[in-house]
Amino acid sequence: MADFCPSVPSSCDCFVSLPPASAAREVIFGKNSDRPKDEVQEVVYFPAATHAKGAKIQCTYIEVDQVEKTHAVILSRPAWLWGAEMGANEHGVCIGNEGVWTKEPVGEEEALLGMDLVRLGLERGRHAHEALQVITALLERHGQGGPCKEEPTPFVYHNTFLLADRTEAWVLETAGKFWAAQRIREGARNISNQLSIDVDITAEHLDLRQHARRQGWWNGEEEFSFTKVFSLVHQPVRMEAAKARYCAGRQLLQQHSGQITASTIMAILRDKASGICVDSAGFATTGSMVSVLPLDAHLPCIHFLTATPDPSRSVFKPFVFVPGITPFPQVQAPRFGDKDPIRESPRFQSRVDRRSFTGERHKIQECLQGLEQQGLEAMKNLLAGSFTPKPQELADLFVDCVNAELKFYK
């Protein structure tokens, strides 16, 4: 799609399009999850649930207080952890996160991962702003930290988030327990592995500016720019590479402004020239997601997930929240209980095979893309009211697409 030549990338990109950038009256969310190349990413569904008063929930490393009710969620996540790289809930909220490094030091002490905060926001937020409030409250109370890879050598980062619902989007950027947020009400926006909120700050940590003054990062007189104040003077290589991806992603959105559809975002996520679709020696795009959130609340939100690595060779399979979702164990990793390396002490001293299935790819690309196109056409007809599928057909939708794809691998 584009001719860009960034440095070798090693992390993620998130995108959102709102009218008038979108071709139709819909918000479109998309994300690539770029993770260690041999890491398994699974897609999991959790129904809405009620919980006992005073209950706790075990996240990846720490426990937090559980809430009385949690929303149904679909998640794409590294198979070894509790949280998620990206996902959506039954109310049409989508969230994705990115790793960043700032002037606030990252600590190896175990706390909440950014991926835990993605899941907690989806399970507890009925709209994007409420999910943001959930995340920031948990961040301020518990902090963020702990290994972000399934390896004994620590790999730790802080996080930025893109949150969207049917009416608006939010960019949330963090540095330790401190944060700033920007509301997006129209147009298109993207984030990569760098801070991007300048002076247009909609909400922030109550002590954000005072903390920056105490640290000597801001004199209190200049206009406060979150990016300028909290960004490292000397950026890590991976964040320098992210600048090129961020600029490339923004340019691709601008090129298609006013005509952006789900297919547009899928094509951007598949763009290897820009580095947005990653296939390097150490990191790769291990999962991708695109969601269509109609402004008309009577229409269903439709979420497309690959559940397989490399979107340039994968099929985006549709999922719709309805009662009685048919399970899809084919794209879920095996469980190891107390013998899982993350549950042993010390952690990550051994490796387990988390792959759910394997298969050689032959000359099936055209057939797979045809399968995806069928899903996109069905989405258009559904949102246009051309046909009304039976509830069970929607409940079976994602698993049917998974099974159809698997037949090509056999």
Q: What is the distance between the alpha carbons of residues 247 and 20, in angstroms, rounded to a whole number?
A: 21
Report which of 45, 68, 46, 40 is spatially closest to residue 55, judged by C-alpha positions. Answer: 68
- Whole-angstrom CA distances from 373 to 26, 179, 376 are 19, 40, 5
Do 74 and 85 touch, CB atoms closer than 8 A?
no
Q: How many Å from the N-terminal Cα to the C-terminal Cα in the chain?
A: 31
Q: What is the distance between the alpha carbons of residues 287 and 46, in angstroms, rounded to a whole number?
A: 18
12 is catalytic: yes
Which of the residues 5, 12, 59, 367 is marked catalytic?
12
Report which of 80, 108, 109 is spatially closest to residue 344, judged by C-alpha positions. Answer: 80
Do 39 and 10 touch, CB atoms closer than 8 A?
no
Q: What is the distance between the alpha carbons of residues 377 and 372, in angstroms, rounded to a whole number?
A: 9
Report the DSSP beta bridge partners of residue 75. 44, 87
Q: What angle do CA 20, 24, 26 make, to 5 degrees?
A: 85
Known catalytic residues are 12
